Chains A and B, each alone.
Chain A
Amino acid sequence: MAWTRKLLRVNLTEGTCTSEDLNMQWAQDYLGSRGLATKYLVEETDPMVDPLSPDNKMIMATGPLTGTCASTSGRYTVVTKGALTGAIACSNSGGFFGNEMKNAGWDMVIFEGKSPKPVYLMIENEKATLVDAAHYWGKSCWDTEEGIKAERQDPQIRVASIGVSGEQGVKYACIVNDMDRAAGRSGVGTVMGSKNLKAVAIRGTLGVRVDNPVEFLQATDAGKKVLAENPVTGQGLPTYGTQVLMNVINEMGAMPTRNFKEVQFEGAANISGEKMHEVRADGTKNLVTNAACYGCTIACQRVSTVERTHYTVKDRPQYQGASGGLEYEAAWSLGSECGVDDIEALTFANFICNEQGFDPISFGATVGAAMELFEMGVLTTEHTGGIEMNFGNAKALTDCAELVGKGEGFGKEIGLGSARLCEKYGHPELSMSVKKQEFPAYDARGIQGMGLTYATSNRGACHLRSYTVASEVLGIPEKTDPLETDGKAGLVMAFQDATAAVDASGLCIFTTFAWSLEDIAPQVNAACEGDWSVEKMLEVGERIWTMERQYNLAAGFTGKDDNLPKRLMKDAAKTGPAKGKVSGLDKMLPEYYEIRGWDTNGVPKAETLDRLGLV
């Protein structure tokens, strides 16, 4: 139980949907979601495959806890070879889509091949059909979701779809469910678009069962109590969302600004969580309310409106309602990274990212890079179609968002992502990325552990692979000095392995501000057959991490790709507590390889693979 023990295989080339038994041995070894789906991808595809070829597969997967009453258990994962990175991609989303898949009786759906024409997949419990989607092609995620619900006369259907950007090959297109939740990073939506798959719609009414309901209710109740009593998950996140961090990170001089030229943003307060609570001229606030994903007792989501008089929405009623508001990463990438401090413009750009399905982190960071190229004179208004791409120009940001959303004009260039854009214009060093994926909102000079996190992240630069910010900034589980490199190798490895296990279970990583595996293992243990101790969870986490590493090595990456842009290694932070610091990656990386049981080139040693059962 907990697993439905069934997977759906959809061959888009042939137009067939078939049910298969889940490999239960793999379920014991890889748990679910990120872990189990990656195992299937590794077994079934060639790592050298072109991400956009029909031979690449895309897997949507739930974890064993998905769809239960465990707090935050609505999540699902998209695993594929990433269009942005060419590395293993694994993007996770909340909302109410994962639980619906589970309730329809499926642990995962494997998509293979390429449909000859646009289709969407309709799942109604055991029945799965591919439906013509010609009338949704060219439509936004919002219109597609609303259209499918209306067409099928069932408002309870859950939809995950791609927007125009995913159809048009924007490299960082995402898959949006429930209007404003997204499997956001690495271009998983681009892969979906390459398969001519517009959407997946699900209605599930079978119910999700667990192995030991009495024990499970006790374990999940105990977990919820811990979340409620913790200051971050009980107070900070519901009140300010992840935006609780904006002022904190800026003060510690770890807020990348203007394409990482600086580490503090003078406009931070204007785009902060506190600002979202302030009453605007018309008496309303940016923040309407907080909201929860399925089963989540934290409720960190922001629901926002753009001020009605703002230039972006003034004559456009369709953008005047409430929708998913700014999270910290998006507020940073659209804001500080581009030097823009107009929170209404940021909120609007974020709406467009959700509506048209592209990742605000990669988008904002690419706009930031383009702004630097523009100020250097490398890009001119000739390239941009007349847009003055200076840092701080809010209109340039929102124009770019709309152009990427439509796949038109200069939007095509921004849609390449910063690595390809900077390469094309002769300045690859200006792309602030690892494995072509843009950094999130923490500067590796001011939070040293994040440098190692980015460099070694299997899906390219990412904060969600080992969020050492928890330790280095918030003191969770214990405080470490953000400016120190000593001990960070061990910290990063511990976070990477634990995070992989949490992802595999089907829970939200934000629980780990309050929960350790000591809180999570009993919930998994009560839900699943098998013996799920903390030790086993950690072992599964390490196995997942190493499997992802092996995939990337087989895909052509080497230890040389565990690197950071020159700017972070050579140009010292100019202000704040980290003034004079560069990233100490060179000090941390050899130790990291060693404790991982990898050789000096970053290749897992035979004995390590053997210990993890990965031979």
Chain B
Amino acid sequence: MQKALNIDPAKCTGCIQCELACSMEHTGSFNPSKSLIKVFKFHDQGRFVPYTCTQCAEAWCMQACPVDAISMDAINNGAKIVADSVCVGCKVCTIACPFGTINYVPDTGKVAKCDLCGGDPKCATACPTDAITFVDASSTGLEKMRNWAAKTDSGASAQA
């Protein structure tokens, strides 16, 4: 079964534990500036939105890469993975991606994007409020469906 990150911004408190877990996993230090998931704060609205790569089926970045450095990891939930040994740092993928979720890293001279941590995304584990979960890729809408289902009239109220 393929799994996907599922993000529910309404549950996010803006604590950025996801960014800390991501940067620790990928760089060995706590460094939000290096996190591949970002939490955006809309101060005047009191809203927080975690945002990262959705692993597009036909990924723009993968299509655009002139040296085929980005490939699909079929075993790992279809994650699009950057091979550092192949990437030449041309940044064409960063232009191609409509969502901005693949970025150049000056320290390494390569691009970096979410790789789903080899099938165990650390952001989802770290999230204290379940705003980020890692669920069946074909049922990311399940919780929303359940919430709406709960609102449908029960037989009792229909009779009343």
Interface residues of A (CB under 8 A from B): 67-69, 99, 103, 156, 179, 204-210, 213, 217, 224, 228, 238, 288-297, 299, 303, 305, 321-323
Within the assembled complex, what's the spacing in Å between the Cα atoms of A204 and B27?
15
What are the residues of chain A within 8 A of B15 when measuring CB–CB? 292-297, 299
What are the residues of chain B within 8 A of A179 when measuring CB–CB? 43
B63 beta carbon closer than 8 Å to chain A: no
Residue of B nearest to A234 (CB): B128
Minimal beta-carbon separation of B31 from chain A (angstroms): 4
B32 beta carbon closer than 8 Å to chain A: yes
B133 beta carbon closer than 8 Å to chain A: no
Within the assembled complex, what's the spacing in Å between the Cα atoms of A608 and B13?
45
Q: Which residue of B24, B128, B129 contacts A213 across the interface (Cβ within 8 Å)?
A: B24
What are the residues of chain A within 8 A of B27 when measuring CB–CB? 207
Instruction: Decide: A224 near B28, CB < 8 A? Known: A297-B15, A322-B43.
Output: no
Q: Which residue of A67, A292, A305 contacts B14 across the interface (Cβ within 8 Å)?
A: A292
Residue of B nearest to A302 (CB): B46
Most chain B CB within a 10 A radius of its CB, from A292, A321, A322: A292
B34 beta carbon closer than 8 Å to chain A: yes
CB–CB B28/A295 < 8 A: no
**A217-B24, A224-B128, A295-B15 known; 20 other A-B pairs, CB under 8 Å?**
A67-B30, A68-B20, A69-B20, A69-B21, A69-B30, A103-B32, A205-B31, A207-B23, A207-B28, A207-B34, A208-B29, A288-B45, A289-B46, A292-B15, A294-B16, A296-B13, A296-B15, A299-B128, A299-B129, A323-B43
| 20 A-B residue pairings within 8 Å (CB atoms) | A68-B30, A69-B17, A69-B30, A103-B30, A207-B23, A207-B30, A213-B28, A290-B13, A291-B14, A291-B48, A292-B15, A293-B15, A296-B13, A297-B15, A297-B17, A299-B15, A303-B46, A321-B43, A321-B44, A322-B43
Within the assembled complex, what's the spacing in Å between the Cα atoms of A291 and B14?
6
What are the residues of chain B within 8 A of A296 when measuring CB–CB? 13, 15
Within the assembled complex, what's the spacing in Å between the Cα atoms of A103 and B30?
8
CB–CB B33/A205 < 8 A: yes
CB–CB A322/B44 < 8 A: yes
Residue of B nearest to A205 (CB): B33
Q: Which residue of A156, A217, A303, A321 contacts B33 across the interface (Cβ within 8 Å)?
A: A156
What are the residues of chain B within 8 A of A293 when measuring CB–CB? 15
CB–CB A205/B46 < 8 A: no
Within the assembled complex, what's the spacing in Å between the Cα atoms of A68 and B24?
10
Within the assembled complex, what's the spacing in Å between the Cα atoms of A224 and B30?
17
CB–CB A103/B31 < 8 A: yes
